[in-house]
Amino acid sequence: MFTYYLRLAVTSMRRTPVLTGLMVLAVAMGIGASMTALTVLRAMAQNPYSHKNEVLRVPQLDSWNPESAYDEEGNPPDQFTYRDARALLDAGKADYQSAQYRTGLSIQPEQDSLLPFNASIRVAGSDFFQMFEPAFRYGNPWTRADDARKARVVVLSAELNDKLFGGENSVGRDVQMGDERYRIVGVLEPWLPMPRVYDLQEPFEEAEDAFIPFETAVDKEMGAHGNNNCWRSPEKPGYAGQLESECIWMQFWVGFDDVASVAAYRQFLDDYVRDQKALGRFERPLNNRLSTIDEWMTRKEVVQRDSRTQVWIAFGFLIVCIVNTVGLLLAKFLGRSGEVGVRRALGASRRQVFAQFLIESGMVGVAGGVLGLLLTGLMLAGMRALQDESYGHLTRIDTEMVGITLIVAIGATLLAGLIPTWRACQIAPALQLKSQ
């Protein structure tokens, strides 16, 4: 019977191509708009490290201005001073810990064919690789021993290795960066944690071109390409003054093998701040945090307000499209009251008429869903064109989204079909095709 209803639906749709087209187009537009907005929202809100959500943590210490909180909600600062990062690194109380920031270096390729260029550099500890687990194509991360001896070592991204060495195994070779040569210890596979959890200042940027040890970068007096906030100016000039200052400019991450260790680390942070209070720092009330990744993403408002607004408006749009479909289906089904009367006279039960018309609604949904999927692809391309390059990573549609799209489309039209179908079922069996 199902195939019979399907055939009737197709026949009916082909008989009224304009009305059917209008309905399909309306459903497709609503689906396209809402799925586009939802795709972007989902990409923004996802946590690429959800499997390590509890064991990767962001400590926050309230080292800020005694007179004014860091922000209106009274949160502690979202970055670290060098002094506190140094102290936490030296204490080494977590299983993994890394202070990090972003900087830039000019790279002078050996080939004459390549001009010198600027590369973005992530400055981090060797534990960074244990915590964020980028896959290595060649070689390995540097070691804690390399950290300790401020080794001039570097891990290249796949893209930089392709550019400099044509994708060959470059481990053991050197690369001139700034005024020094760095030994290549590892090359990553292409890596795109989206959002870029380890540094949420620019959550949708790609990972950096290369990674060097934190201790090395500090030794070489490299500044941060990123926010540097000071509630009090450094007392001394230059890099030494920056290191001693209360300015916050680096990110700090800790990792644990076991969630059970988190409580002890929390205690350690509180003890550390109490000790510092005794030294005259940390005049604000004790306000430490040790956030999970999810908590951190919420605090850093990774999902932009515009994207949320777009989702709400897009779903409003979808509702209008559904209401529109209700109206058109109503017109279409009531226009066939003669047919319903005859079918009823020939023995169709209400349930059979209901099934026939609901399946026709569902068919509109399937067609609308497929067209909506195409529109979603087009609209996402439009979004890419309107936004900057990094936005491209947010506008990929995966199989799960395809599934969701079709289900929403069919579900929405079935919903839209309910009232018109119910009305069609109410039509009495008749001996006359009244509309003829």
Partner 1 sequence: MLEMKQLNKVYRTHLIETHALRDFSLSVREGEFVAVTGPSGSGKTTFLNIAGLLEEFSGGEYWLDGVDTRGLNDDGRSRLRNEKIGFIFQGFNLLPDLNLFDNVDVPLRYRGLPAAQRRERIESALARVGLGARQKHYPAELSGGQQQRVAIARALAGQPRLLLADEPTGNLDSMMARGVMDLLEEINDQGTTIIMVTHDPELAARAQRNVHIIDGQVSEVERGPQLGRREAATDPNAAAA
Partner 2 sequence: MLHLKPIFSALLRNRIAAGVIAVQIALTLAIVVNCAYLVVERVSDMARPSGYDEDNMLTIRVTAMDPTRTDIRAETQADLAVLRAMPGVVGATATNALPLGRGGWAWSLSNSLEKAGSGRDEDSEGAAIYMVDEMGIDATGIELSRGRFFRAEEVVDLTQSGDASPSTIVISDALATALFGDEDPIGKPVWLNSEPGRAPPIVVGTAKRLQAPWTSWQNTEQAAMVPYRFLYPHRTYLIRTEPGQREAVMGQVEKVLADRDSQRIISGLRSYAEIRERGYREQRAMAWILTATMISLSLVTALGIVGMASFWVTQRIKQIGTRRALGARRFDVRRYFQVENGLISVGGILIGMALAWGLNVWLVSALALPKLPLAYLPIAALAVFVLGQLSVLGPARRASLVSPAVATRTV
Residue numbers at the binding site for partner 1 (CB under 8 A):
1, 4, 11-12, 15, 338-339, 342-352, 428-433, 436
Task: Work out what residue 103 binds among partner 1, partner 2, none; the CB cut-off runs from 5 to 8 Å by kind.
Answer: none
State the DSSP code for 322: H
Q: Which two tokens stand for residue 301?
A: 């408002």
Radius of gyration, alpha carbons of the chain: 30
Nearer to partner 2, 59 or 417 (CB): 417
The one among 316, 349, 378, 381 contacting partner 2 by CB under 8 A: 316
E-only strand ranges, 111-248: 117-124, 136-139, 153-156, 174-177, 180-188, 210-213
Task: Work out what residue 90 binds among partner 1, partner 2, none; the CB cut-off runs from 5 to 8 Å by kind.
Answer: none
Nearer to partner 2, 269 or 311 (CB): 311
Q: Which two tokens stand for residue 359?
A: 């399946």
The one among 4, 74, 92, 117 contacting partner 2 by CB under 8 A: 117
Nearer to partner 2, 107 or 363 (CB): 107
The secondary structure of the chain in percent helix, strand, coil, rounded to multiples of 5, reads 50, 15, 35
Concatenate the DSSP letters of all residues of 17-46 into one string: HHHHHHHHHHHHHHHHHHHHHHHHHHHHH-
Nearer to partner 2, 184 or 321 (CB): 321
The one among 9, 30, 39, 151 contacting partner 2 by CB under 8 A: 30
Task: Work out what residue 172 binds among partner 1, partner 2, none; the CB cut-off runs from 5 to 8 Å by kind.
Answer: none
CA distance readout (Å), 44 to 4, 91, 107, 197, 308 = 44, 35, 32, 11, 10
Round to whole Å and give the CA distance between 113 and 184: 21
Nearest CA-CA partner of 204 in 295, 126, 118, 307 = 307
Nearer to partner 1, 5 or 101 (CB): 5
Cβ 1 to partner 1, closest distance in Å?
7
Q: Which helix (H) or strand (E) holds 403?
A: helix 399-425
The one among 232, 274, 277, 396 contacting partner 2 by CB under 8 A: 232
Round to whole Å and give the CA distance between 96 and 252: 11
> Is 208 in a helix, a strand, or coil?
coil
Stretch that binds partner 2, among 23-31, 79-87, 181-189, 343-351 (CB under 8 A): 23-31
Nearer to partner 2, 16 or 143 (CB): 16
Cβ 312 to partner 2, closest distance in Å?
7
Query: What number of chain residues touch partner 2 (CB under 8 A)?
Result: 63
Residue 298 near partner 2 by CB under 8 A: no
Q: Which two tokens stand for residue 312?
A: 């709400």
Q: Which residues make Cβ contacts (< 8 Å) with residue 382, sequence separation at least 6? A: none
Cβ 385 to partner 2, closest distance in Å?
9
The one among 106, 140, 298, 349 contacting partner 2 by CB under 8 A: 106
Burial code (b: 16+ CB inside 10 Å, e: under 16) for 16-31 equals beebbeebbbbbbbbb
First to last CA, the chain: 28
Task: Work out what residue 66 binds among partner 1, partner 2, none; the CB cut-off runs from 5 to 8 Å by kind.
Answer: partner 2
Residues that bind partner 2 (CB under 8 A): 19, 22, 25-26, 29-30, 33, 65-68, 104, 106, 108, 115-118, 178-179, 223, 230-233, 237-239, 304-306, 308-310, 312-314, 316-317, 319-321, 323-324, 326-328, 330-332, 334-335, 382-383, 386-388, 419, 423, 432, 434-436
